[in-house]
Structure 1
Amino acid sequence: MAEGIVELTTASWDKEVLQANGLVMVDFWAVWCGPCRMIAPTVEELAKEYAGKVKVGKLNTDENPDIASKYKIMGIPTIMFFKDGQKVDQIVGAVPKPQLKAKIDALLG
């Protein structure tokens, strides 16, 4: 995983996401997913830019299907936002960085 990004698994999900304070951005992805690879550098840049403000994690949906199904992930990449353990928003698909930044800024606001 890139600097500033937490690799999420079924085992770490509750501790890293549901029990976390503040804003957590989770990138649901898979190795075979082209759009996931396209958005990965953007997610890494955002992790650095918002270090200390937003926790950024990535969850491989193939390796952790129970979490993907719990949150009804139908298409990837899906970026999901949690605030103090509660799901507050999500974006499906590879979207441009300004759109993700706007969403993060609004949720932090």
Structure 2
Amino acid sequence: MKKIAIVFAAAAMMLAGACTSKEPEKTVPQEAEQAQPATEVVANQGDGKVVELTDAKQYAPGVKVSQLTILDFNAVWCGPCRQLAPVFDELAGKYAGRVTFVSVDVDKFGELFESYKLGQSIPAVLFIYPDGHTAKYVGTGDLLPASKFEALIDAALAE
């Protein structure tokens, strides 16, 4: 009986870790923290498909983007990440030409995940705005169903 209680408590803590706050944390890049000068991202800009990240430097903190860019930090073993993936793909098509959608595998790009100070829970979604500020959403609470995610994107595009 004691083992069941421990397993239940551990499961509850894991579920709580995937939850998110209602308000995203917005940050403004600090020039002093940038190890490299910011670069303009020009490739794969909103072509209607999710881009799989291949180079962490492309979206390092402080990067300059020409349009709203959304990074989805995920892992193949993460159940909530697998729930979010088809929504992310669908929205990439819907916002083609206006928003760049990038999938980031935290098992391959853990340092990039840590550099944005997103905590330890995934999925974590980061909006990077052309002016350099970011908005963070951890867990699926603000992102699912798809209508919630769309509302966040529409609000971001209106800024």
Same fold (TM over 0.5): yes
What SS does the aligned partner of 1:86 have? coil
Structure 2, unmatched stretches of 5+, are 1-47
Spell out the pairing of 1:73-88 with structure 2 (5 A cutoff). 73=118, 74-84=120-130, 86-88=132-134
Q: Which has the larger radius of gyration?
A: 2
Q: Does the aligned pair in 1 maintain the 2:64–2:132 contact within 8 Å?
A: no
Gaps of 5+ in 1: none
Q: What RMSD, in angstroms, separates the aligned Cα atoms of the two structures?
A: 1.7
State the shift of 1:42 in Å: 0.2
Moved >3 Å (runs of 4+):
none
Q: Which has the higher contact order (CA 8 A, sep 6+)?
A: 1
> Which secondary structure state, in structure 2, belongs to the residue aligned with residue 67 of structure 1?
helix
Aligned residue for 1:93?
Answer: 139
How far apart are residue 80 of structure 1 and its match?
0.8
**1:27–1:79 contact (8 Å) kept in structure 2:** yes
Deviations 1:45-92 (A, max 9, x none): 000000001000010011011101101232100111001262421211
1:108 aligns with 2:108: no
Q: As a proportion of its length, which structure holds more strand? A: 1
Q: Counterpart in 1 of 2:69? A: 24
Supply the distance in 1 between the matched residues of 2:107 and 2:151 (Cα, whole angstroms): 29
2:110 equivalent to 1:65: yes
Q: Is the 8 A contact 2:75 2:81 kept in 1?
A: yes
Aligned length: 105
**Sequence identity percentage:** 35
Q: Partners in 2 of 1:97 and 1:75 — Cα distance?
A: 20
Name 1:37's counterpart in structure 2.
82
